[in-house]
Structure formats: structure tokens, C-alpha cells
Amino acid sequence: MVLKLSGEAFASDAADETIDGAVVERIAKELTEVRADLGTEIAVVVGGGNIWRGATGSATGMDRATADYMGMLATVINALALQDALERQGQPTRVQTAIGMSQIAEPYIRLRAIRHLQKGRVVVFAAGTGNPFFTTDTAGALRAVEIEADVFFKGTHGGADGVYDSDPRTNPDARRLDEVSFDEVMSKELRAMDLTAITLCKENSLAVRVFSIMEPGNLRRTLQGDQIGTLIH
């Protein structure tokens, strides 16, 4: 499986703390236990929004491509933090980046990533797709398709525990959907992921499970078949 984690999932509520070590350690512990107990091959795609967002820089007048490349570098910082936490749990881990930086990570090579997974290593994909104008949701969908994952998990944060029929942050009557089709997500603009990622998953029949990663134990329950969050298929 491929798990997409937003950068914000690594942060604490403190305004001056971009990476909360305790939060990263908890996520790493859950991944390690799931890998050991269930034998699931796990790849993780990380965002960088806790450090930098390309859209934020672009909104202030910065060149969009430059701002996006900065965001890609932010994802590498998060990937290294997760790798360190996983290794301290005793879980062998490899970071692969879409932008070459051989002193700290491997370049993304599809067959090498698959081989790492087969050997029981967790693979963390960083730097998005390596191209500006694409989100890490799209990077997650792309990597999931490339390595022939069975399912794509999107772990949310900030109280969102699935896909809603409207924004739960502004509408107290918003209803969480247990299941929804790709076509409904696109036609109703449900904003589960960006449209490029949704289209890629639809065209490759890759189911997506959206759930809260901030609730301890949710990852295991999801893999064991509990119907939590929202299934997009």
C-alpha cells in the first residue's frame, strides 16, 4: 500500500514548531508495527506543507515553479525525519527522491523501490513528482500506480476523517460519506484530492481510502478491513 501523509500531519499545534518529534515517532511506530504484524509492504509519500507551500509563495508574487521546487525540498526534510524515526524503531527504511540529492537519499527508481518493499523495507518517496505544478496527492497516486499498489491511503489531519459532502470546517451539518465514486468526487468537486490525482486513480482502478491518521490505531484498523473514513472507487 501507499500512504500519503500531508506535511501538516507532522506538525504540532504550536505555531513555532514545524515538526513535532512525538507525532512523527507515533506514526513511525504504527507503520513499524503494521509492517511486522500484518506483513504489508508499505510505501509513504510525504508532503511539505508544515514547512513551505508553493501556492503560498506564488500568492506573494514568487515565480510559481521556484516556489514549487522549494516545496519539494520541504518534503525531503519531512521524509528524512520519518526515516530517522522508523530506523529508531528498528524498521529498515529507504528515502527515494524525485530530485537528485545522492548524499542524503536514493534517486527514485521504480524497480529498486519495488525490490526494497519486497525485502521488508519501508520506502519513503519525497520531492513529489520532481516537477512543479503537481501536488503531492498526484505524486502519491503516481507512485502507487507505478509500484502496482493494491490501495492508496490518504491520511488526513486537522479533524477531517474522510470525504464530506461539503466543507465540515464551515458547515456544521456537513455529512461524511462512507463510499463515493470517482465520478462523484469530480462532478461534485468534493475536494478529496486534486483532480489530477483522482483521474489517475480512476483510470488505473486504484481505490482510495481517506481517513484520519491523527487517530491512533486507524492505520491498522483500515488495513484489517474496518470501514473507517471514506472509500473512493
Q: What is the DSSP string of 17-53?
A: -S--HHHHHHHHHHHHHHHHHH----EEEE--TTT--
pLDDT tens digit string along 145-180?
999 999 999 998 876 788 988 877 788 888 889 999
Sequence-separated (6 or more) residues with CB below 8 Å from residue 62: none
> How do the domains of the chain map onto residue ranges?
2-232
Query: What CATH topology corresponds to 2-232?
Result: Carbamate kinase (3.40.1160)
Tens of pLDDT along the chain (233 residues) come to: 999 998 888 886 655 568 999 999 999 999 999 999 999 999 999 999 889 988 888 888 999 999 999 999 999 999 999 999 999 999 999 999 999 999 999 999 999 999 999 999 999 999 999 999 999 999 999 999 999 999 999 998 876 788 988 877 788 888 889 999 999 999 988 888 899 999 999 999 999 999 999 889 999 999 998 889 999 99
What pLDDT is recorded for position 188? 87
Q: Would the pTM of this model clear 0.85, i.e. be above it?
A: yes
Q: Please give the C-alpha separations between residue 211 and each of 68, 109, 154, 179, 227, in angstroms, as whole numbers.
A: 26, 29, 6, 12, 10
